[in-house]
Structure 1
Amino acid sequence: MWTAVNIDGSKVLSTKSRSWRRDDRLPASEQTLADIYGKVPGKGVQIDRGHLVRRLDPVWGDQDVADRAGDDTFHYTNAAPQEHVYNSEIWGNLEDFVLARADKKAQRVSVMAGPILRPDDDFFGKTLPGGPWQVPWSFWKVAVFKREDKTVSVTGFVVEQTANIALIFESTRYNPYTVEQARVYQRPVHQPGALRRRGNRQYGKQPSADHLACHRRRAGCGAFLYHRDRGCCRITRNADGRPDRQDREHHPAWRHDLPSDHRGGTSAV
């Protein structure tokens, strides 16, 4: 998705702002409308309607044409979610740079701009009407200047709003893990060097209730089976995933001494 506009720096005018509105050429379901914009509760962040074609860029030539061109920049198809400071200062200062250069030097400029859309852009507004939406973390702009001597100068920019917009995705203080997320940090209580040794604590018979009976080392070099009487024992497995014959003979009760949810090598919180 990108936009384009031509500027004649020798004919730049001014015009009034107007309210944002739908683009009737597209269905509402294909436009990011008003619901996403405004202050984000509890975050101290405001999401602005960021112009992709700047409001004043097409405002030149005859006044009636300039007014209509300025009005057209207030369609939602020309807006992208931008954090307020980023929109008004960081991205806004770049817009000022391009227009000021065209105005002061009476140059003609073609400007193209748009968001950098990535598949891993974060979603925002899950509970809002029409949401959620993926919010771009950065935007690009290319300006093609035609100089008085008829030569051409091309300048490109990429401006990130990462630090500005990140606040809306930060978790609140109460944000409990899911079971799957908690497993990332889970360790067997009776595993040597894990909890018992590091904390210098004696857990007695409590490890028998530990749901993480089997643990695969971080480097993937082996699996561990908790045995009620022998503690945590390293085992090897055949192609079918079962302990080999020697291990079965050494631990004849390997299936019967474990909780039912561990009979097969799985683990649960």
Structure 2
Amino acid sequence: MNELTPAPPAETPQTAQAAPSAGDLAGRQGFDEQFLGLPLPIPELPDVDTILLPYTHFSVLLRPDKRLAAVTALGIDGARLFDLDRSGINWRLDPRVPADQQTGEAVYARNDIDRGHLVRRASAVWGSSEAEAAQANRDTFYYTNSAPQAADFNQGMELWLGLESYLLDHATDYRRRLVVFTGTIFSDKDPVYRGVQIPLRFFKVAAFIQDGALAATAYIVDQTPQLAELPDVPSPGAREEAPPLGPFRTFQVPVRDVAALTGLDLAQLEAADRMPAASALPTARVATTWRLLSAPEDLDLDFDLER
């Protein structure tokens, strides 16, 4: 989840561009499981119906029951990034999926909820040509790659967005490549708004090659509102008014905690976790070892990023 894009004014129609067809997305290769030079598949969600949607440089594992992605998978080639803007690109539904299985414009209209990129736009915009990078740029604006997020852009959100760049710039990774899995964490505390469950937490797991071996580090961002904002908010259920969302707080967490909270199969990444607490406290309960981050320098890793 990543880059936030404010909703356009009501008078700006989302249909200003021609609606894409399934043919427009034909040939998309999606996430490359060999991107790091070793097999790293998209995490599966056992016993839950999902739809795998390939785009340019990334894939989305969609949960039709939630109308949001369970996880996105992106390979970032830091040596081939382009600096492209988003001008002229509107959000649109993916024509390969029924509209009622996606969270579209109706959820974001006339409120303070933003469409948060799960695959960060700037991280996907790379390639061997500008045309390839531009296609990736456009692909990040399908609603399947968005999730409802707090509108206020705050320090916690800036940190969340910057983690990928920080790791890409400083980690001793293989060919300056990074894989990022990002997705939603659903719980019974999430409010339901306009028929869509609004996740209060999201996760990010970054994977790269360190000293010749797979390494991983995990993060959770929390937009749970402060208790003072909640006295008139009912228990989870359908709401007519947009629910309050709090400032983003970003935590470094063990990969196993992400697996426990989402149900995703992250065994390969759990074994590669480079957060010291993950190995030092292998039986610690979920959330007891989370590290609140205020800057990337607060990361706790068992290797030196500057090597």
When the two structures are superposed, what TM-score results if normalisation uses the length of structure 1?
A: 0.53
Aligned counterpart for 1:171 among listed residues 232, 238, 242: 232
User: Residues 20-169 of structure 1 correspond to what in structure 2 (within 5 A)?
Assistant: 20-38=91-109, 40=111, 46-61=112-127, 62-85=129-152, 89-103=155-169, 107-124=176-193, 131-147=194-210, 149-163=211-225
Distance in structure 2 (CA, Å) of the matches to 1:89 and 1:20: 25
**Conservation of the 8 A alpha-carbon contact between 1:83 and 1:165:** no
Distance in structure 2 (CA, Å) of the matches to 1:90 and 1:171: 25
Q: CA deviation at 1:120?
A: 4.0
Return the index of the structure with the highest Cα Rg.
1
**Structure 1 unaligned regions, length at least 5:** 41-45, 125-130, 176-269
Distance in structure 2 (CA, Å) of the matches to 1:72 and 1:162: 29
Q: 1:41-80: per-residue Cα shift (whole Å, max 9, x none)?
A: xxxxx21000000011111122111110111000000000
When residues 156 and 68 of structure 1 are mapped into structure 2, their CA distance, relative to the original with a 3 A threshold, is same
The residue matched to 2:115 in structure 1 has which SS?
strand
Distance in structure 2 (CA, Å) of the matches to 1:70 and 1:165: 38
The residue matched to 2:178 in structure 1 has which SS?
strand
The residue matched to 2:212 in structure 1 has which SS?
coil
Distance in structure 2 (CA, Å) of the matches to 1:35 and 1:69: 25
Q: CA deviation at 1:146?
A: 2.4
**Conservation of the 8 A alpha-carbon contact between 1:101 and 1:107:** no
**Conservation of the 8 A alpha-carbon contact between 1:7 and 1:57:** yes
Distance in structure 1 (CA, Å) of the matches to 2:227 and 2:197: 12
When residues 64 and 166 of structure 1 are mapped into structure 2, their CA distance, relative to the original with a 3 A threshold, is farther
Equivalenced residue count is 159
When residues 165 and 52 of structure 1 are mapped into structure 2, their CA distance, relative to the original with a 3 A threshold, is farther
Distance in structure 2 (CA, Å) of the matches to 1:37 and 1:166: 25
Distance in structure 1 (CA, Å) of the matches to 2:148 and 2:224: 12
When residues 165 and 104 of structure 1 are mapped into structure 2, their CA distance, relative to the original with a 3 A threshold, is farther
When residues 165 and 5 of structure 1 are mapped into structure 2, their CA distance, relative to the original with a 3 A threshold, is farther
Kindly provide the amino acid, as one letter, of the partner of residue 232 in structure 2: S
**Conservation of the 8 A alpha-carbon contact between 1:82 and 1:165:** no
Q: CA deviation at 1:9?
A: 1.1
When residues 4 and 166 of structure 1 are mapped into structure 2, their CA distance, relative to the original with a 3 A threshold, is farther
The residue matched to 1:35 in structure 2 has which SS?
helix
Q: CA RMSD in A?
A: 2.6
Which structure would you say has the larger RCO, counting Cα contacts within 8 Å and 6 or more residues apart? 2
Distance in structure 2 (CA, Å) of the matches to 1:26 and 1:5: 20
- Who is 1:260 aligned against? none
The residue matched to 1:15 in structure 2 has which SS?
coil
**Structure 2 unaligned regions, length at least 5:** 1-69, 235-307
Kindly provide the amino acid, as one letter, of the partner of residue 93 in structure 2: R
Distance in structure 2 (CA, Å) of the matches to 1:166 and 1:122: 17
Kindly provide the amino acid, as one letter, of the partner of residue 24 in structure 1: P
When residues 164 and 63 of structure 1 are mapped into structure 2, their CA distance, relative to the original with a 3 A threshold, is farther
Q: CA deviation at 1:164?
A: 6.9
Distance in structure 1 (CA, Å) of the matches to 2:77 and 2:186: 30
Q: CA deviation at 1:150?
A: 3.1
